[in-house]
Structure 1
């Protein structure tokens, strides 16, 4: 068993103002995405300018925050937020949904593609390799908060979380940080280094993210207010991953059998 590193969720305070690690992780994610986006735009023949990256990531940032928060409210804990609507604005308490954030990002892609006369899949393929590093930071924020822990385990790296009872548990946040963050980033960054047919990069992202998240959910404790939704073992995260994996597989099939790389 490993010892859970008790990190103060508050990174530092200035008077009554507290800056939490959870919020800082979002800042790290957006700065990392901006730097990586600039690097992708600098590739020969990318067709992207630094200003395009700046504008697109601004839209994406808004889409992520609004979509992730509203997605969590609607998909995971609507009853509690109806009882206390002001809790919707207390994002420092946690409660962000990847799938909701993805819908917000899709909206940002649509708006950017319409206003800049670019194809939707071109925008999605450009951004997809930048997302996993953001997922890594987000899961590290969950880990620091000691939330979203896994099921009891006797593995050597199991941990006793502050609010998880007396049992050692899977550090499922770290599993997701590794798979959805580092592994997915490496695969997409290498895959996107070569010209691909429209939809191939974003399709691979959707399929692999769905597979990784679906798998980790087996060792992660489901949200207490929802429990298991289907067949006694499917969680909300797994249910939401099913259409995502289907879309990813379809985009890869379409890229393989349709338009050639541009």
Structure 2
């Protein structure tokens, strides 16, 4: 049975400024997105649609705003609205953790809608370009969660070779390292599947809806190993908040992928 090393969340202390590992994982996520989006823009069908370095840089700017604002606001509203209502000054303390993927996704959707309108592009053309570039960023974020020792898993059989005690949980219970499960499923595996799927031209919206469905399935599955938020516990039907937020993603993703597949628009 393993024990979480309880890493120092501060990677570099410069006195006045402290650089947190969590912040570094976000920088890594944005760098990976930029590199992958450039590779996507060079694909013949994307280059023919006018995608290039300048467009990718603009997308990164809008995406960063969407992720940070949407992720934090989503966490505040979905998971701890009463706490932050009583402690409004802590809403901006992103460096302490507390970001919601579902909120970040909504923030990116809004950002991409604004980008598409500004550049007069179909919104789904924009999301089709970026969808395969997102999972590596999610993987990086899960490494940040693991370093912080947060979002640990549910109790596991102590005989499980990778079962882990998280001192941050204030108990000696062997748990699933669910952050690493999510790193592998909604991060690396989803990236590989989407990247391979998007290596040839697809109909408008197919890549975007495939991402929505794939993330929903992998996150829903991972939630069975992740400890529910203490202040929420399990909700209706014994499902966590994360699972309930994934249900519409799975349903909408599958339905819209089927709809996009029947369209003739590329």
TM range (shorter): over 0.9
The residue aligned with 1:194 is 200
State yes or no: 1:179 paired with 2:185: yes
Gaps of 5+ in 2: none
CA shift at 1:56, angstroms? 1.0
Pairs within 5 Å for 1:129-140: 129-140=132-143
The residue aligned with 1:240 is 245
State the distance in 2 between where 1:41 and 1:181 align.
21
CA shift at 1:3, angstroms? 3.1
1:184-207: CA deviation from partner (whole Å, max 9, x where unpaired): 000111100110011110111111
State the distance in 1 between where 2:255 and 2:26 align.
30
Question: In the alignment, which of 213, 227, 240 is matched to residue 221 of structure 1?
Answer: 227
**Residue 134 of structure 1: SS of its match in structure 2?**
helix
1:47-96: CA deviation from partner (whole Å, max 9, x where unpaired): 21110000011001100000000000000001110111011011111110
The residue aligned with 2:115 is 112
TM-score, L = length of structure 2:
0.96
The residue aligned with 1:163 is 168
**Residue 12 of structure 1: SS of its match in structure 2?**
strand
Question: In the alignment, which of 134, 147, 162 is matched to residue 144 of structure 1?
Answer: 147
Number of residue equivalences: 260
Q: Could you say what the CA RMSD is over the residues aligned between the two structures, in angstroms?
A: 1.0
State the distance in 2 between where 1:251 and 1:23 align.
34
**Residue 163 of structure 1: SS of its match in structure 2?**
helix
1:195-225: CA deviation from partner (whole Å, max 9, x where unpaired): 0011110111111110111011111110111
CA shift at 1:5, angstroms? 2.9
State the distance in 2 between where 1:31 and 1:219 align.
29
State the distance in 1 between where 2:247 and 2:55 align.
32
State the distance in 1 between where 2:165 and 2:16 align.
31
State yes or no: 1:19 paired with 2:19: yes
Pairs within 5 Å for 1:14-93: 14-46=14-46, 47=49, 48-93=51-96
CA shift at 1:45, angstroms? 2.9
State the distance in 2 between where 1:259 and 1:214 align.
32
TM-score, L = length of structure 1:
0.97
CA shift at 1:35, angstroms? 0.9
State the distance in 1 between where 2:199 and 2:14 align.
43
